Structure formats: structure tokens, C-alpha cells
Amino acid sequence: MYLITDRTLFADVLCLYSAVEEALKGGAKAVQLREKDLPVRQLLTMAYTMRRLTSDYHAALYINDRVDVAIAVEADGVHLGLNSVPVSAAKKASGDRLLVGVSTHSFSEAVKAEKDGTDFITFGPVYPTPSKLRYGPPVGTDALREVCSGVTVPVFAIGGITPERTAEVKSAGARGVAVISALLGAHDREKTTERFLRYLQ
């Protein structure tokens, strides 16, 4: 399970840290720091805190888009959008130390990301979700199945994923799920994480 941050869901950043730690206690093993609007200094401060948190729970940390920040805080990887630096540039800048993920929204984008050398992709939005409205209507599980069968890199389903939908995306071939509000907005994040993991097993 791949947790993606969104500090706008909370009153302040300390509440976000607490929410992430609850998910880590529940067994989350990967966190992506995704705060696109932050100036780099603030992002770097958050990244150091997230690195300490994820290290305490033996979880991976990915930084959205900023290869320099990922290198500085010794993150495990970086997650790139379609308008980010190329996969090859991210790998070269980090001396091939960083794992690189790419956000994709169509079969052609997924195939290109694999050809470019990505280590994994997120694909979606699979289901309707407010955070992904700008990417258009949900792609659905048929498109997810096509992508999962058309690439060899791990595919993480994203967009409207709930614990109850996890079995469906897994049966379509997804290696795992990437979640934002379904976990960060949960009343009990530790137990919700455990539920996600039970459905994934």
C-alpha cells in the first residue's frame, strides 16, 4: 500500500505527520510526500521529518517530482508526473540510487513510462475521486487490466480506492494501491491501514 500525502486535509502540518504515523503503525510500507505547491525550503523541511518517520517504521519514502529533495534527504525514490524531468535524468542525477515511479492515466502513457525505464507506475483514476478530477473521468477496471497485462513493471491503482475495492483492482492485475483521502480522511487510520492490507493479501 502506497500512501500519498495531502496536507490540505488537515488543520496544520503536525496533524499530517500524526496521520502518517498512524498509517505506518498500521503497516503502511511506502509514503509519497506530494505537496506540489510548497516552496522548496518548506518541502525540504517536511521531507526530513517524513524521512525520520518512515525510517522509524522501516518504510520507504518517495518525494514527488523533486529529485534534488529526494537526494538531499536520502529518500528511497522519486515519483514523477508527465511533465517532470525524464526518468533517465532522475536516475542519472541520483547515480541510479533512487527508484523512480511515474503517474500514468492511459495505456500509451504506461507503455511509454516502462520504455523510459521507470521502476513502477501509478495508474488511474480507476474510480471517481475529487483529487483526480482534473485528469478526466475514471478509467475503470477494464483499462487497469489492460495496462497490467501490457507492462511488466508493477502497477499501483490510484483514484477512489477503498479497502472494499482493493480486491477488485488486485484481480485486475494491480500490484498494490495508492491512496490519499480514503486513508488520511479515515476516523481510525491505523485500523483502516490494516483493513487495506488484509484485502491486499
Residue 127: name the closest of 113, 143, 116 by CA: 143
What pLDDT does 158 receive? 96
Distance CA 6, CA 40 (A): 16
3-state SS assignment for residue 174: coil
What pLDDT does 132 receive? 54
Read off φ and ψ for residue 168, nearest 5 degrees: -65, -45
What pLDDT does 82 receive? 85
Instruction: Name the stretches of the chain with pLDDT < 70.
Output: 131-136
What pLDDT does 128 receive? 87
CB atoms within 10 A of CB 58: 8
Type of residue at 96: D
Grid cell listed for 57:
517504521
At 134-188, the pLDDT tens digits run 666 899 999 999 999 999 999 999 999 999 999 999 999 999 999 999 999 999 9
What pLDDT does 186 receive? 96
Residue 47, CA distances (Å) to 85, 125, 178, 183 in order: 19, 26, 19, 20
Distance CA 84, CA 94 (A): 15
What pLDDT does 129 receive? 79
Distance CA 74, CA 45 (A): 13
Residues assigned a catalytic role: 34, 103, 132
What pLDDT does 137 receive? 84
Distance CA 17, CA 160 (A): 22
C-beta of residue 19 within 8 angstroms of C-beta of residue 31: no
